[in-house]
Amino acid sequence: MSLAPAHADLAHRLDQASVRADELGLTALLVTPGADLRYLTGYDAVPLERLTCLVVRGHGGSAVLVVPALERPAAEASPVSSLGIEVVTWGETEDPYALVARLVGAGERVGLDDRMWAAKVLGLRRAMPGVHQELAGAAINDLRMRKSGEEVASLRAAGEAIDRVHAQVPAMLRPGRTEAEVARDIAEAILAEGHATVDFTIVASGPHSASPHHEVSGRTLRVGDPVVVDIGGTMPDGYCSDSTRTYSLGEPGAEYAEHYAALQEAQWSAVECVRPGIACEDVDAVARGVLAGSGLGDYFIHRTGHGIGLETHEEPYIVAGNALALDPGMVFSVEPGFYVEGRFGARIEDIVACGDSGPLVLNNRPRDLCVVDV
Ligand code: ZN
Ligand code: ZN
Ligand code: ZN
């Protein structure tokens, strides 16, 4: 069973998406299974080769959900029917793209959800050769980026769940175990602490810690290793967790400890500067400035953070060049790191919501380098 937000919230989102489509001059938004569809309708449909497509028409037009006949019961078990969305089915030998084209009617431009499969994009193009295709993200991302109080509460619950997993990590880190063994324990804990799915388990030990997206390997943990543990999952209501802590098997070397102290200052300074009105790029600049001041600027090789919600990576991106000003309800990671190839690395990552006057920090495990007794 999947949980869905209150119908009033869903109806409001659909309404807002239709208004935004109008403003952008789009005849309709076409949304296939994925986070956008779940956000707008509560329908957590599995993406398959058969076309399922929500048609959100502008000008106050009603929304229609096109589904394969065999998916009708699943669609009707979701909030779709009680939202007043008409469900139109197609049989195995019918052309669902022509059906969508008829529902769109005479139009010049349509918005397609940003993650739509290429096969569907091209199928829709063949069915509507005169209609220009654009990204529906322009209409939907603005909405998804600004979370309601209920959504922030969901992300807080996800944050607490992943914090409970991190609390168990020190006991899993033992010299002689492999990264893969530790990752299996972590995956089990992610589920045991309330997530519906495990999304990723990064256990990067020793020199592997210098690779930000190293997953796991058969490398054996050794005394003196730094271990970057970056983990996340999806809760039953669809909201995601994502948090990184860095551990050390025994006391770290003096150089590493010094770099880590700079990283900790960079991360917390960036968290503390979060407030309405500050630009995403300025939050990035705060973290980057502290690391540059400690001679680590060249070793911080990725953006400071990404938005999070029904997807682990979504807008807003906390990166140089993004002048978007934060609004209350925006939720994103603050995760600077340093990566010295062939030697070592570290990262600290918290999910932070922009509150009415400052940051609401959704991950709250200690941020000091976690030294594991060996
Ligand atoms: Zn990442
Ligand atoms: Zn992460
Ligand atoms: Zn992240």
CATH code of 15's domain: 3.40.350.10
In the reported structure, the alpha carbon of residue 212 is separated from the centroid of ligand 1 by a whole-number distance in angstroms of 7
Choose one of 144, 169, 184: the last residue of a domain.
144
What ligand has the least distance to the C-alpha of 244?
A: 2
Choose one of 89, 116, 144: the last residue of a domain.
144
Residue 2, in any domain of the structure: no
The confidence score (pLDDT) of residue 1 equals 41
Q: Are residues 234 and 88 in the same domain?
A: no
Beta-carbon neighbours within 5 Å of ion ligand 3 = 242, 333
Nearest to 270 by CA among 255, 250, 285: 285
In the reported structure, the alpha carbon of residue 210 is separated from the centroid of ligand 1 by a whole-number distance in angstroms of 14
In the reported structure, the alpha carbon of residue 349 is separated from the centroid of ligand 2 by a whole-number distance in angstroms of 6
- CATH number, residue 336: 3.90.230.10
In the reported structure, the alpha carbon of residue 25 is separated from the centroid of ligand 2 by a whole-number distance in angstroms of 37
Q: Are residues 117 and 198 in the same domain?
A: no
Residue 249, in any domain of the structure: yes
What ligand has the least distance to the C-alpha of 243?
A: 2
In the reported structure, the alpha carbon of residue 108 is separated from the centroid of ligand 1 by a whole-number distance in angstroms of 37
Q: What is the DSSP string of 39-100?
A: HHH---PPP-SS--EEEEESTTPPPEEEEEGGGHHHHHHSTTGGGTPEEEEE-TTS-HHHHH
Tell me the pTM. 0.95
Residue 55, in any domain of the structure: yes
Cβ neighbors of 189 (< 8 A, separation 6 or more) are 164, 165, 168
Q: Are residues 165 and 50 in the same domain?
A: no
In the reported structure, the alpha carbon of residue 287 is separated from the centroid of ligand 1 by a whole-number distance in angstroms of 16
Q: What share of the chain is helix, strand, coil (3-state, %, to 5)?
A: 40, 25, 40
- Please, what are the averages of pLDDT over each run of 10 residues along the chain (374 residues)? 71 93 95 97 94 90 93 94 93 96 92 98 96 96 96 98 98 98 98 98 97 91 98 97 98 97 98 98 98 98 98 98 98 98 97 98 98 95
In the reported structure, the alpha carbon of residue 213 is separated from the centroid of ligand 1 by a whole-number distance in angstroms of 6
In the reported structure, the alpha carbon of residue 138 is separated from the centroid of ligand 3 by a whole-number distance in angstroms of 23
In the reported structure, the alpha carbon of residue 90 is separated from the centroid of ligand 1 by a whole-number distance in angstroms of 39
Q: What is the DSSP string of 306-358?
A: EE-SSSSSEEEEE-TT--PBP-TT-EEEE--EEEETTTEEEE-BEEEEE-SSS
The confidence score (pLDDT) of residue 106 equals 84
Q: Are residues 104 and 35 in the same domain?
A: yes
User: How many residues does the structure list for the chain?
Assistant: 374
Beta-carbon neighbours within 5 Å of ion ligand 2 = 230, 242, 244, 349
Structural domain of 356? 149-372
In the reported structure, the alpha carbon of residue 212 is separated from the centroid of ligand 2 by a whole-number distance in angstroms of 9
In the reported structure, the alpha carbon of residue 302 is separated from the centroid of ligand 1 by a whole-number distance in angstroms of 9
Choose one of 125, 144, 163: the last residue of a domain.
144
In the reported structure, the alpha carbon of residue 56 is separated from the centroid of ligand 2 by a whole-number distance in angstroms of 33
Q: Are residues 100 and 193 in the same domain?
A: no
Q: Are residues 37 and 158 in the same domain?
A: no
| C-alpha to C-alpha distance for 335 and 350, rounded to whole angstroms | 7
The confidence score (pLDDT) of residue 22 equals 93
Residue 297, in any domain of the structure: yes
Q: Are residues 288 and 306 in the same domain?
A: yes
What ligand has the least distance to the C-alpha of 214?
A: 1
The confidence score (pLDDT) of residue 3 equals 62
